[in-house]
Every structure is written in structure tokens, then in C-alpha cells.
Structure 1
Amino acid sequence: MERKDFLKGLGLVGIGSLAIPIINACSKDDDASETSTDTETATDTGSDSGSSGTCSVTPSETAGPFPTISPSSLVKSNIVMDRTGVGFTINITIKNTKASCAALKGAIVDIWHCDKDGYYSEYGGTGMQSVNYTSVHFLRGRQTTDDNGLVTFTSIFPGWYSGRATHIHVHIYNASGTSLLVTQIAFPEGSGSAVALVNASSSNGYTKGLSGYTYNASDNVFSDGFSNELATVTGSIAEGFVLKHTINVAS
């Protein structure tokens, strides 16, 4: 699937059961060995502030050519459906810059990301994505933030495709449904990271490794700076991985 020349925002093995999470991390220097054991733990040290400790709005990014078509019909926290791969929990906190970055309760948060093979649901059968997934809705969901501004999704660790680093798309609305921000979440990279570990886990269906992988510094969305979009990812292949990230909006 070649999408390198498409919009900058384009943007796992079947998880038979979420009780058996599987994740690896990406190595910017060297691809992790495919003999990595399930006991390896990610050493990611990304930021979960969403704004490098300052109360400023998180950068906006394109929704890409694969945004969710009818997000209001996908109100759910478990977005795995029939996809398989390493277990992945996504925790996103929304804060309001107009209230000294206090937690924003009642915000509507949509997320979507590709599967372990780099494919998106709701699209396909075209030059942008050869495999046709137009009739399914995997790895897409909507949740509303709680009193702490938090939403949580159960998913699988995203794969990657040509021209893009591993990422998650996010669209945030206020309680009335007015769009506040479209952004993307970047993943820590390097030896021992979740990206390197997961992509070395061929037994879990991540068969591409990191050969041809585009790192954040060269990614056509993140190459202009991604520190405010970099999440923290912790965990292991055996126990699954957990992403934590804060996004600041002006509401």
C-alpha cells in the first residue's frame, strides 16, 4: 500500500482476545530482533503533557483522507472488532486552555488508526488503499470525557504504512458538537520503544518489521516538530501497552 505521495495526514495480528495483549516498540537506530521475548518492556519516555508543560493549544493536523465517516454511530470504547494484534490501551486527557488548562469534562473525542498491516476501515479499493474495507468500522470510536477530562479506548497497537510514522488521529468537539481541534498523536521511537518491540513481533502478525519505516523526524506530518504531540507508551508484549497523552484545546 503506497500512500507516500498523498495528503500528509493519511493516516496489527488479529487479537483473538484482548486478554492476550501483544506489543512491540520501534527502534530508530536498529530494528529489534524478531526473537524479542514477551518479557521485554518498552522504555518509551515520551511526553504526556500535550504541551511540553505549557498551557497552549496542541498543534492541529490534517484528518487525512481516511477520517471516520459517521463518528456519532461509533460511540464505544472497545474499538478492536475483528482486528488482531498486540493489546493496547489508549488514555487521552483533554484540557482547556481557556480555563488555565483545567480538565475539560464533557468533550467528545473521536479516534481512528490503522490496523497492524497499515489499513484503515471504511475505505479501500482505490490507489490510496488497495484492500477494500469500505463496509467495516474497525479501530474507530467515540467517547466523552469524564470529570478528569479522560477518555479510554481498548485497541490494538497500530501498524504503519509507507510515508508515515506510527500515529493515531484525534478529533475533539465540545459538548455541543462544535469542532475544537483535529490533531494526531506521535509515538516514541528508538531501541527498546514499543514501536520497535511490536514491529519485531512477527509471531503476533507484525510481519513488516521496520524496513522502510518512516520515523517522526521524516514524517510528512510530524517533521516540523512533534514534541507537543508525543505520547508516553509503557508496557510489554506479554502484558500489553498503555498510551497516555494530554491534548489541550481552547473551549
Structure 2
Amino acid sequence: MQTSTPTPIAAPVAGPATTGPTPPQADARRRLALGTIGSLGIANLLGCGGGSDTVADSSGADTGTGTGSGTGTGTGTGTSTTCSVVPEETAGPYPADGSNASNANYNVLALSGIVRQDIRSSIGASTAVGGVPLTIAITLTNTRSSCAPLQGYAIYLWHCSQGGDYSVYTERSIAANYLRGVQATDASGTVTFTTIVPGCYAGRMPHMHLEVYPSLAVATTAGNKVKTTQLAFPTDTLRTIYAANAGYSASVPNLAAITFATDNVFSDGTDLEMTTLQSNGSGGYTASITISIAA
């Protein structure tokens, strides 16, 4: 996969990149997870060995290549009929996962409260960021176990605001951590986040970032992740959303200036990274996708 172009953000105030409150220690739920990890079963958490990294599902459909056309007009179904490992992608310059990206050692994964479903506000804040509401369901499956769902894995999701900015880095403060959150997959391998439709900043197709960890207990720093990837969204639906909502005004020309074929991450295809995106009939949208790893 290719390297992402850094996101344009508002010029930050002068000062060291690590300005902001010191991250608190990981909360009690991680210690609880360590104590209860045995009840989930090590085999379930770490997956089973053997088998191919690409498996057809029970329908017998052919396995996919994961390359796609790269054109992407935006009418994809969001889930593949095969179980192929989702491509590894860059975390970009603003992951805030302790990896010292952008010369700033921010780590929201160590914050108490980062495990949450609704990520529209910063932890402990009562005001949500603006944007069209979006509920996104992400299902994780195992290519080495006949596409079985992976329970107990942790997924860290983050993305830009409707204006194209990333929290933490824009404000140079870890306390501003909206549009970032972690959840553990349930028995069906699924997590659901309540967030907003991401905006489109210059040079990139709209997207979300995610990292996969073997459990909540170890989802505390980027060094423990087992997968980094990005999620794409149907272009036609995004055009409709951006045109109808003033908060996305900058996204209209930015989206018009780029395609999946010219995007520096998705130009090699979006078959395994394209979500669904549909109106919920109440002013918001729902999205879903199934991704697979070799666990």
C-alpha cells in the first residue's frame, strides 16, 4: 500500500508538540480484561493456526484478489463474498496511538474512557462535534478459520471531522479526543460506533482509519496491533451528503478534485475496504463492512 499525504490542518499555536495534559493510566477495564481473558479462551483471542489467508464463504463464491478497479463511483455493497485479508494501510500522520507520529507522542489508547461506542465528543465532554450522524458496524472475521467471527478483539477507530481536521493534533492536546474510540468485538465479531460522516480534505478520498488488537487488555499502544487499515465510502452518497449540509462545504470541491483512482491509498482498489452507506430516514446514515485478518 502507498503512503498517505498528511492531512492539512489549522496552523497550531506555537509550542512543543506534546503540549496538553498527561494521559492518565489505562482504566480498570483493561485490568479486568486481563483477569478475564481466560474465560474468552486463548484460542478464540489469538485465532487458530493453519489454513489459507483467503477463503470462500459457505456460498462457494470465488476468492477475490483484493485489488479492484480503483475507480469506485460509490455503489459497492460494503462486504465481500469472500474472506480475504483486508489490505494493510498506513495509519497516517495522526493516529494518536503512542507511535510518535508527527513528532508527537500522543496516546489516546491509554486514556480512561477511550472504550466507548459514541465518539462524537471528547471523553468527559458533553458537547458533540458537528456533522451528519453515522452509525457504523464493523465485523471482524478470521481467514484461517473458515471466515469465523473473531470475538474479544479490540478495534480502534478514528477519522477526521466534517471540516477535515483530526482531533488531538489540531488542538495539540490529548484532551481533545473526539472522533476516536475503542470497542471489543462481540460474539458475532462486530463492533458498532456512533459518529459522524467524515469530511473530505484536499488530496484524499474520505476515509476512516482503524487498528485491530488481539484484546482490550493489550489495546494500549500501537506496538500491540495486528492490523492497520482504512475504510472507504461510496462517492455518490457522499456527494449527496456534502451538498445538503453546510458544514461539509469545503468537502464539495475537495471530493470533486479526486477519485479512488488518484487517491494515494485506495488507487490499488477498494474491494475489501468499501463500506455500505445508507440513509436511516431520520437525517443520519448507517454504514457497515466486514473485514478479515489471518488470526
Is the contact between residue 9 and residue 63 of structure 1 (CA under 8 Å) also seen in structure 2? no
Amino acid at match of 1:208: A
Which TM-score applies when normalising by structure 1?
A: 0.75
Q: Structure 1 residue 133: deviation in Å?
A: 5.8
Gap regions ≥5 residues in structure 1: 1-5, 12-27, 30-43, 125-130
Aligned residue number for residue 22 of structure 1: none
Q: Structure 1 residue 228: deviation in Å?
A: 1.1
Aligned residue number for residue 45 of structure 1: 75
Runs of 4+ with >6 A deviation: none
Farther off after superposition, 103-112 or 171-180: 171-180
Q: 2:92 and 2:290 mapped to 1: Cα distance?
A: 21
Deviations 1:169-222 (A, max 9, x none): 0100112634221000011113xx1x112211234x222242132222211100
Asked if 1:185 is matched to 2:231, the reply is yes
Amino acid at match of 2:188: N
Q: Structure 1 residue 141: deviation in Å?
A: 0.2
Q: 2:110 and 2:261 mapped to 1: Cα distance?
A: 34
Which one has a larger percent helix, Structure 1 or Structure 2?
Answer: 2
Higher relative contact order structure (alpha carbons within 8 Å, sequence separation ≥ 6):
1
* Structure 1 counterpart of 2:93, from 59, 65, 71: 65
Q: 2:280 and 2:6 mapped to 1: Cα distance?
A: 27
Where in structure 2 are the equivalents of 1:55-204 lying within 5 Å?
55-68=83-96, 69-73=107-111, 74-81=114-121, 82-124=128-170, 135-175=175-215, 177=218, 178-190=224-236, 193=237, 195-203=238-246
Which TM-score applies when normalising by structure 2?
A: 0.64
Aligned residue number for residue 223 of structure 1: 267
Amino acid at match of 2:209: H
Cα RMSD of the aligned pairs, angstroms, is 2.2
Structure 2 counterpart SS, 1:171: strand
Structure 2 counterpart SS, 1:98: helix
Aligned length: 204
Q: 1:133 and 1:235 mapped to 2: Cα distance?
A: 34
Query: What's the % identity of the aligned pairs?
Result: 38
Q: 1:71 and 1:101 mapped to 2: Cα distance?
A: 28
Gap regions ≥5 residues in structure 2: 8-71, 97-106, 122-127, 219-223
Is the contact between residue 108 and residue 177 of structure 2 (CA under 8 Å) also seen in structure 1? no
